[in-house]
Chains A and B, each alone.
Chain A
Amino acid sequence: MRDVRDALMVARNSEGKLVRRPLSPHLQVYRWPISMALSILHRVTGVGLAIGTLLLTWWLVAAASSDDVFDRAQWFMGSALGLLLLFGWSVALIFHFFSGIRHLVWDAGVGFDAPTYNTSGWAVLIATGACTVLVWVIGLAVW
């Protein structure tokens, strides 16, 4: 025991076994409310989009060089792996877009009560799904 306060963290469970009391709050313990899931998702998609800018940079660099280099980049974007990356990128972007607007509204001091943030959370998810489908239907139709 490194710290005397650790003594307060030890207790017996219902079988009489000595166990450490759980710390609070802890991700595995709670049922995930939508606000918690979306908060984490906002961060995860943000990091994903940051990495995704490498794809944008590559595409712009390719466009600034020869026809051959650009055609190779365009070919990759249209390949199975390219389309998968673009799909992931589009979902992340659209989610981060709507979730970001939700955050901006909170920053203005609006929508902090539980019924509102639960509704707005589901609205973000529904809007993300609908717009992703819409973007891909139009995108594939134009392509």
Chain B
Amino acid sequence: MAGTNNTPHVDVLRSPLGRARGLGSARAGSGHWWAQRLTALALVPLTLWFIYAVIHLSGASHQTVIDWLSAPLTLGLMLALIVATFYHLQLGLQVVVEDYVHNELLKVASVLLIKALSVLLALVCIVSVLKIGL
């Protein structure tokens, strides 16, 4: 510990055992953090637009929705919203699982399941939107 003797030492927040076992940070933390903020930032205007769109389309007929999504700007915004939303929610749910699930196998399995489901749902949304809009 620091201050107990005068021998040169380095304070490392990981235990020597943890270091020897190679456990600890996966060194992917700042990338995850940054991606979560970036998608959050993108979702600020996209969410405002989406709330406006939902109000605009409340009780709309099928044809109205098809016409609405066929506009290139709407289609582009919708795709951006889908990608940002699923990317953001998958990052967020991963943090929640990592905070509360302490069993290593269950934790890894849950995170992988969340990522797989997010990708699948995002793809289903993208295909639906493209099928209508193109």
Pair B55/A142 contact, Cβ less than 8 Å: yes
Chain A residue with minimal CB distance to B40? A100
For the complex, is A23 an interface residue (Cβ under 8 Å from B)? no
Main secondary structure of the interface of A (DSSP, over half): helix
**A97 interfacial contact with B, CB 8 Å:** yes
Report yes or no: A142 in contact with B58, Cβ–Cβ below 8 A: yes
Q: How large is the interface on A (under 10, 10 to 19, 20 to 34, 35 or more residues)?
A: 20 to 34
The CA of A60 and the CA of B92, in the complex, are separated in Å by: 23
Within 8 A of B (CB), among A16-68: 43, 46-47, 49-50, 53-54, 56-57, 60-61, 63-64, 67
Question: Is the CB of B44 closer than 8 A to any CB of chain A?
Answer: yes
Residue on A nearest B44 in the bound complex, by CB: A101
| A residues in contact (CB < 8 Å) with B | 43, 46-47, 49-50, 53-54, 56-57, 60-61, 63-64, 67, 70-71, 74, 78, 90, 93-94, 97, 100-101, 103-104, 107, 135, 138-139, 142-143
Residue ranges of B at the interface with A (Cβ–Cβ < 8 Å): 37, 40-41, 43-44, 47, 51, 54-56, 58-60, 62, 65-66, 69, 85-86, 89, 92-93, 96, 121, 124-125, 127-129, 131-132
